[in-house]
Structure 1
Amino acid sequence: MSSARGRGGRRRSSGHEEEHSNHERWLISYSDMITVLMALFIVLFAISQVDQQKYVALRDSLAAGFNTNAAPSVLDGSNGTLDGGSVDPQAAPATSTGGMVDADAGLGTQGANPSSVPAETVDPVLLEAARREAAHLEGVRAQLAGLLQANGLSDAVRFRIDERGLVMGLVADDVFFAAASAVLTPTARQVLDVSGPTLVSLAESISVEGHANTIPVSGRYPTNWELSSDRATQVLRHLVEVDGVAPQRIMAVGYGDARPLVDGPGEDAIVANRRVDLVILSSAPEAVRVLVPTLTGTEG
């Protein structure tokens, strides 16, 4: 009986044996974190060190590979500042001293003295865009001039390319308008009808600008302002109502005698300033338009 009790006691004592708990398990996670941080700092320290000799060798090899002896844009040294030696003054975009010509300018002042911009000082992108726009306007002028010449009307129109676009000046001795009159003559209607299809095909807007000479008017028109405005309106109406120019693309304005083509009181000024200008407005950006007159002939 005592032996049985001994065996039972041994069984009970073996059943109550407790597991050993590990209170140092956090050290493993902590050690891993410290190891990762140390590796991170080592990497950061390594990449922050620049081998100056290797950098210079890389720079020289790249310069030799691209066949250039130009000074590199990143300068040697550790102060992080530029001394201006790497700036190319020829690469700066050109600016116009006079800016864009006022949209009110008449044929007499537009393009008379186009600013000469050396090609080497102009942004190549802007210069190429200006060349394309100049070629486009030259093409329109050649097309209109050819049609007018084929109909014997080449002497009735004077062309000019300026910073606004292509100016088609309807200037001739009593060909378009009689004195103090806004009534279109048969020749004026013929010029508009010959030019109409080309004007209709264009995407640009058109400004019809009426002008008068300095002789005071009487009768129907109180001043030359009303006379010049009526002349522009009559041309606009003919282009829209007869030739089919979209009304959304065209506008009319009168300048009276404030924008003379020829200065002075002589007979030439009296005849030449009695006119209407059709301005095909360029849709190119202003920075491109200011370059166009320097790339084209100004009059034809």
Structure 2
Amino acid sequence: MSTLGGRPRRRGHVEEEHVNHERWLISYSDMITVLMALFIVLFAISQVDQEKYIALRDSLSAGFMDTTTSPSVLDGTAGNLDGHSAQTENTPATGTAGMVNAENGLGLQAADPMVPPAQTPDSTVDPAVLAAAQAEAAHLEQIRDAIAASLAANGLDGVVRFRIDERGLVMGLVADDVFFAPARAELTETAVRVLDIAAPMMVGLGENVSVEGHANNIPVSGRYPTNWELSADRATQVLRHLVEADGMPGGRIMAVGFGDTRPLMADGSPEALAANRRVDLVILSSAPEQVRALIPALTAGA
């Protein structure tokens, strides 16, 4: 081995690489930066520029309207994004249609807070919507006239009163204790006759039918724990007869019980007790909501 200066020459020495134990801080810093940017973006988009919002709303509204007739497709609105629709919701109209006692028929309109007032057509209504409402009103009137004529031909003229509202055609049976006895759900002979006469027209339609049971506020005893069960059973008995005896498709009919929560009359008189003991039969209109909202005003004098 060669030597230099009397000392052995050392072979080349490689220093061991130093391990960076703080490398995780880089990834952590990147993650924090990304999160901060995300929150900044979320905060920025949550701050709505009112002027830009209004401009966007008006531009979208203009795209869906006839600028020569109306400021919007929906009557009474400035556009589709303001959240204030002037159309009436399709809330259940209690006591306005009927299958078993005095309903809101012609001349029997009850002051029901659940039923919104009818919308009056005016110059701001879109012509296409108004035309559709007129056609739907004429269709419902045709159904009403056909059922009324069939009842009259069978000696039941005046037993049923009709009314057309924003839900469709409603039928009111207005004879005391003719269709259901107190605290009972069995159909009487008259009720069966009315159902059998009206059923062929309803079966031939495309509209759905809602059977809605009601009871007066007298507490029940015996078979039914409460008026809820009583009203539901009444509606079910009507539904079963229409389906099992009259051929109504089961997929187009429904039954619901409202108990004594939606009375036609609330004065406690014998007439009120009889009127509230009923089942409402409603032929539901399949027209759009904005069309249905105009129908009551179009048929008010019919």
Residue 160 of structure 1 contacts residue 166 of structure 1 at CA under 8 Å; is this kept in 2? yes
Distance 1:91 1:124, change over 3 A: farther
Aligned to 1:234: 237
| Number of residue-to-residue matches in the alignment | 213
Residue 91 of structure 1 contacts residue 122 of structure 1 at CA under 8 Å; is this kept in 2? no
Which amino acid counterpart does residue 282 of structure 2 have in structure 1? Answer: V
Question: Taking every aligned residue pair, what percent have the same amino acid on both sides?
Answer: 59
| Aligned partner of residue 155 in structure 1, secondary structure | coil
Which amino acid counterpart does residue 160 of structure 1 have in structure 2? Answer: R
Distance 1:89 1:198, change over 3 A: closer
Take 1:88 and 1:286, find their aligned partners in 2: how far apart are those partners? Answer: 23
Take 2:226 and 2:291, find their aligned partners in 1: how far apart are those partners? Answer: 38
Residue 131 of structure 1 contacts residue 292 of structure 1 at CA under 8 Å; is this kept in 2? yes
User: Tell me, which stretches of 5 or more residues in structure 1 are unaligned?
Assistant: 1-86
Residue 210 of structure 1 contacts residue 232 of structure 1 at CA under 8 Å; is this kept in 2? yes
Take 1:117 and 1:263, find their aligned partners in 2: how far apart are those partners? Answer: 32
| 1:137 maps onto 2:140 in alignment | yes
| The one of 221, 224, 239 aligned to 2:224 | 221
| 1:286 maps onto 2:275 in alignment | no
| The one of 88, 91, 107 aligned to 1:99 | 88
Which amino acid counterpart does residue 99 of structure 1 have in structure 2? Answer: T
Aligned to 2:248: 245
User: Tell me, which stretches of 5 or more residues in structure 2 are unaligned?
Assistant: 1-66, 77-84, 97-109
Take 1:187 and 1:137, find their aligned partners in 2: how far apart are those partners? Answer: 24
Take 2:270 and 2:157, find their aligned partners in 1: how far apart are those partners? Answer: 22
| The one of 210, 223, 228 aligned to 1:207 | 210
Aligned to 1:276: 279
Take 1:254 and 1:209, find their aligned partners in 2: how far apart are those partners? Answer: 6
Aligned to 1:114: 118
Please report how far the alpha carbon of residue 105 of structure 1 lies from its aligned counterpart in structure 2 after TM superposition: 3.3
Take 2:274 and 2:185, find their aligned partners in 1: how far apart are those partners? Answer: 14
Q: Give the stretch that moved more between structures: 98-107 or 160-169.
A: 98-107
Which amino acid counterpart does residue 102 of structure 1 have in structure 2? Answer: T
Take 1:272 and 1:219, find their aligned partners in 2: how far apart are those partners? Answer: 22
Take 1:216 and 1:147, find their aligned partners in 2: how far apart are those partners? Answer: 37
Aligned to 1:31: none
Deviations 1:212-255 (A, max 9, x none): 11111110011111100000000000000001000000000000
Aligned-pair Cα RMSD in Å: 2.1
Deviations 1:66-88 (A, max 9, x none): xxxxxxxxxxxxxxxxxxxxx76
Distance 1:112 1:155, change over 3 A: farther
Take 1:123 and 1:151, find their aligned partners in 2: how far apart are those partners? Answer: 43
Distance 1:111 1:104, change over 3 A: closer
Residue 137 of structure 1 contacts residue 165 of structure 1 at CA under 8 Å; is this kept in 2? yes
Q: Which has the larger radius of gyration?
A: 1
Report the TM-score when normalising by structure 2. Answer: 0.66
Residue 87 of structure 2 contacts residue 290 of structure 2 at CA under 8 Å; is this kept in 1? no
Report the TM-score when normalising by structure 1. Answer: 0.66
Distance 1:183 1:138, change over 3 A: same
| Aligned partner of residue 89 in structure 2, secondary structure | coil
Please report how far the alpha carbon of residue 155 of structure 1 lies from its aligned counterpart in structure 2 after TM superposition: 2.6
Going by fraction, where is helix more abundant, 1 or 2?
1
Residue 211 of structure 1 contacts residue 254 of structure 1 at CA under 8 Å; is this kept in 2? yes
Q: Give the stretch that moved more between structures: 263-272 or 233-242.
A: 263-272
Residues 29-68 of structure 1 mapped to structure 2, 5 A cutoff = none
Aligned to 1:178: 181
Distance 1:222 1:298, change over 3 A: farther
Which amino acid counterpart does residue 267 of structure 1 have in structure 2? Answer: P
Please report how far the alpha carbon of residue 115 of structure 1 lies from its aligned counterpart in structure 2 after TM superposition: 2.7
